[in-house]
């Protein structure tokens, strides 16, 4: 049976229309900030244009949010970015120039919406940041930062830095996810066995080697030099596993405070674990020549059930 080209074209258009009908995108105001609400057959997201910060992620069929946001959070007129997935750029932690904000300025800068694309395997939102008079006060370079967020069977995040300056630039960077958990005493992190590490509170030299599973019960600011490209966060309380895979970063940071911390109540501290793909410490910074690009990419898979991957 022959099918005409026009009928094939109409079928293709109908398929695209069906995909677009499934995805829903809306701009809302929350905590005094513009947020993008995105949902499709794979789940839902909430993204703040301030810092391009993913504030909520619920895969389809799951009742508990994957990301933690403090009950007392307020973004309006502040630089408070705890919760969700902050973007740390063009430096991570205290690796900027003396006197600059920790984790860089991208986390509190307003990103522009550059595009949205639908396909049968998900919805992609593209956000971007370019230099302003304010950013040049703390980092006097031209750049183009583009962040793509794809909601599909996995949540895929990609941060592309392009040096548009006439000079080389150095960057450290990372994503700082606050993974929501039932109780961090019931959490296990695997995929770090055999990795050199340091406790960043006291040293930047990875002169120890981690053995076995990591149990994040207490205060940690541990920086692991990656030997493996997959880490799992297993939560026996909710019988859920988050799996991280990625490229373009050299470290995994595990950070947890203990007791009451800033605007976090002591009981809230037990309900998140930060497992962060990053490149940090100045000796490990990426040097980008004029016109050169670097991409940090992370794929996040969430599954019912707990698994161990050593």
How far is the C-alpha of 296 from the C-alpha of 284, rounded, in Å?
14
- pLDDT of the residue at 1: 43
Give the DSSP letter of residue 114.
Answer: E
Tens of each residue's pLDDT in the chain, 310 residues: 444 444 534 443 343 344 444 689 999 998 788 999 999 999 999 999 999 999 999 999 998 999 999 986 555 545 556 899 999 999 999 999 888 989 999 999 999 999 999 999 999 999 999 999 999 999 999 999 999 999 999 999 999 999 999 999 999 999 999 999 999 999 999 999 999 999 999 999 999 999 999 999 999 999 999 977 899 999 999 999 999 999 999 999 999 998 777 778 778 899 999 999 999 999 999 999 999 999 999 999 999 987 654 3
Phi-psi region at 263: left, alpha or beta (left = phi > 0; alpha = psi -120 to 50): alpha
Across 153-292, where does the E strand assignment appear? 155-163, 169-171, 173-175, 178-180, 187-190, 196-199, 208-209, 220-225, 230-235, 240-247, 251-256, 272-279, 286-288
- pLDDT of the residue at 76: 52
Residue spans of the domains in the chain: they are: 22-304
CB neighbours of 310 closer than 8 A, spacing ≥ 6?
A: 190, 191, 193, 212, 213
CB 37 within 8 A of CB 26: yes
Cis peptide bond upstream of 231, omega within 30 = no
The neighbour count for residue 150, using CB atoms within 10 Å, is 21
Identify the H or E element spanning 17: helix 5-22
| Rounded-to-10 torsion of CA 199, 203, 209, 211 | -10
Which of 77, 78, 86, 82 minimizes the C-alpha distance to 256? 82
Are β-strands 240-247 and 169-171 bridged in parallel, bridged antiparallel, or unpaired? unpaired
Give the count of alpha carbons within 13 A of 304, CB side only. Answer: 6
Which of 2.60.40.10, 2.70.98.10, 3.90.1150.10, 3.40.190.10 is the CATH number of 22-304? 2.70.98.10
- pLDDT of the residue at 275: 98
The Cα-based distances of 286 to 41, 87, 200, 248, 283 in angstroms read 37, 17, 20, 10, 9
CB 189 within 8 A of CB 173: no
């Amino acid at each position: 049976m022959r099918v005409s080209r026009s009928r094939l074209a109409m079928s293709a258009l109908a398929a695209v229309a069906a995909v677009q009908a499934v995805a829903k995108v809306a701009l809302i105001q929350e905590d005094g900030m513009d947020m993008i609400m995105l949902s499709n057959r794979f789940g839902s997201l909430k993204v703040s244009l301030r810092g391009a910060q993913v504030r909520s992620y619920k895969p389809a069929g799951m009742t508990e949010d994957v990301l933690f946001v403090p009950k007392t959070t307020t973004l309006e007129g502040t630089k408070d970015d705890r919760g969700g997935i902050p973007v740390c750029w063009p430096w991570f932690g205290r690796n900027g120039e003396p006197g600059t904000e920790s984790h860089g300025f991208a986390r509190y800068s307003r990103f522009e919406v550059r595009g949205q694309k639908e396909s049968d395997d998900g919805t992609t939102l593209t956000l971007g940041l370019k230099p302003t008079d304010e950013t040049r006060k703390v980092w006097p370079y031209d750049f183009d930062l583009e962040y793509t967020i794809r909601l599909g069977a996995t949540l895929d995040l990609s941060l592309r830095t392009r040096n548009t300056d006439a000079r080389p630039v150095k960057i450290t960077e990372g994503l700082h996810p606050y993974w929501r958990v039932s109780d961090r005493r019931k959490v296990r992190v695997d995929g770090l066995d055999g990795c050199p590490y340091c406790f960043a509170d006291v040293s930047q030299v990875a002169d120890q080697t981690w053995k076995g599973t990591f149990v994040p019960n207490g205060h940690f600011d541990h920086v692991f030099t990656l030997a493996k490209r997959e880490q799992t966060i297993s939560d026996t309380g909710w019988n859920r596993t988050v799996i991280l895979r990625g490229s373009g970063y050299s470290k995994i940071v595990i950070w947890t405070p203990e007791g009451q911390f800033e605007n976090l109540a002591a009981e809230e501290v037990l309900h998140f674990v930060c497992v962060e793909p990053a490149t940090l410490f100045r000796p490990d910074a990426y040097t980008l020549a004029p016109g050169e690009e670097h991409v940090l990419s992370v794929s996040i898979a969430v599954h019912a059930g707990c698994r161990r991957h050593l």
